[in-house]
Amino acid sequence: MKWNNKFTYPKSTRSLKNGFRQYLFGDEKLPSVTSILQATKSEEDKASLENWKQRVGHKEANKIKTEASSRGTSMHSYIEDFLRGRINESFFESNEQYKNMAKEIIDKGINGKLEEIYGMETTLHYPEKYAGTADLVGIYQGQETIIDFKQANKPKKTDYIQDYFLQLGAYTLAHNVVYKTSITSGVILLCTVDNLFQDFKIDGAELIMYQNLFLGRLKKFNELKNLPWHYKTNV
């Protein structure tokens, strides 16, 4: 694989306000993709999450969430360091969970499949609408693709990761609009804590469907009366 600085991705700053993340581009404030999805969850999804918290206890739920966040951050860092050439395969010889998970994704999802890297931890934005951070943009199995790395406590079914696909829809749409590209592929590379690797791909008409579904969620977000900052995006 090789690096290709084909695009100049912008720098931005991020901040949290009332639990919602926003991106700052000069004077423009844009809601994050994840905040939009969080704020517009269905009542069924909200009830399911609350039932889980009640079942395990709020203290344990917060602990699980914190551990998952830390695990994901470490795993992402190891993958990025490897792809940037800061570490090599020997780094992963120690039997540490985060390293093992990163190595599974590298061995089974990246090596021999990722051909070029345009950017990592790439800030993407759709002007006046939204912004987010894609883990990787590049050429994957012959196609320009946006890739997100995910970790999980247990294997996932596609029905459980619809928000992951909506994220890919949002990122690819923003990239295509701003950089005049025609990215038609999005990939999730996931590893569980038990080192089970999974990959999920959406492309073509299915990706366009998720782009449109995300725009629907954005419209719903703009209709909320308790937005944590004073603006409305254009839909």
User: How many domains are there within the chain?
Assistant: 1
Tell me whether residue 179 is in a domain: yes
Distance CA 186, CA 172 (A): 7
- Give the global pTM: 0.89
Q: Provide the pLDDT for residue 27.
A: 81
Tell me whether residue 233 is in a domain: no
Query: Residues in the chain with pLDDT < 50?
Result: 230-231
DSSP 83-132: HTTSS-GGGGGS--HHHHHHHHHIIIIITTTEEEEEEEEEEEEETTTEEE
Asked whether the beta carbons of 23 and 13 are under 8 A apart, the reply is yes
Distance CA 145, CA 191 (A): 19
Q: Look up the CATH number of the domain holding residue 91.
A: 3.90.320
Length reported for the chain: 235
Q: What is the pLDDT of residues 90-134, one digit of tens each?
A: 666 666 788 899 999 999 999 999 999 999 999 999 999 999 999
Tell me whether residue 174 is in a domain: yes
Q: Provide the pLDDT for residue 102.
A: 93
Q: What is the pLDDT of residues 207-230, one digit of tens each?
A: 999 999 999 999 999 998 666 554
Tell me whether residue 105 is in a domain: yes
Tell me whether residue 44 is in a domain: yes
Tell me whether residue 230 is in a domain: no
Tell me whether residue 218 is in a domain: yes
Q: Which residue range forms the structural domain that includes residue 67? A: 2-222
Distance CA 61, CA 57 (A): 6
Tell me whether residue 78 is in a domain: yes
